[in-house]
Amino acid sequence: MNVLILGATSRIAQSIAAEHAKDGDSVLLAARDREEVKTIASDIQVRHSTRVLVGDFEATDVDSHPGFITDAVEALGSIDTAYVVFGAMGDQEGSQQDFSAARTVLDVNFTGAVSISEALATYMEERGEGAIVGISSVAGDRGRQSNYFYGAAKGGYSLYLQGLRGRLARSGVHVMTAKLGFIDTPMTYGMKTKIPIASPEATAKALKNAATKGKNTLYYPWFWRFVMYLIKAIPERMFKKMKI
């Protein structure tokens, strides 16, 4: 299998790459920081003795995305599964004070993610097979005052993936939406919460297994499905008063 991982410098992406490398899959890691990606690729290649390639990818440079997919296919031979892992949490207060900061959050998490997913969809639809795994967030299930720019972008991406899944269902291409809760990454560093924080390694295994089984939507950790069910059930008149 040939696997493309976008946003490859994140801990989740690295763990996904390692999971596939264990199976002998060929992996192309792409991100903005090419030197860091090269270091990550070399480590995975040494550990697992499989083909690991690197590529330059910028989420907000949407004009480059179709060409990037063409180059990735040429390098790998094909793209069987693609993981859209990149994202930017941003700072809610900073985004409220300066819309350019908010725009970065929206452009990375929604516009950039949709753009590269469309380029992947075009390639896989023409080929008649493949899988796209879009990393979204439970933050997109309901707008919360503490992170509504990030939540709006992720919520929009989740809706997009749902529509794309329907479009590609008859073409042999599967689209999975991964709604992640708290994962042990720089985004959650220093966070104080009673809700368990999952490891990137466990998350990667869950993502790979769910994608292999053709799951449509994955909440991970699993209990977030029920957490968000409860949060969405809170009446708006009460919810707008809650500082969450």
Three-state DSSP state, 93: helix
- Residue from 4, 19, 5 nearest 200 by CA: 19
In the chain, domain spans:
2-239
Predicted pLDDT of residue 195: 73
Helical H segments across 50-199, by residue range: 65-76, 92-97, 99-106, 113-127, 148-168
pLDDT in tens, 121-179: 999 999 999 999 999 999 999 999 999 999 999 999 999 999 999 999 999 999 999 99
Predicted pLDDT of residue 145: 95
Q: Which pTM does this prediction carry?
A: 0.94
Cα separations in angstroms, 37 against 10, 24, 120, 188: 10, 19, 21, 22
pLDDT band for 233, please (50, 70, 90 cuts). Answer: very high
CATH number for the region 2-239 comes to 3.40.50.720
pLDDT in tens, 43-56: 999 999 999 999 99
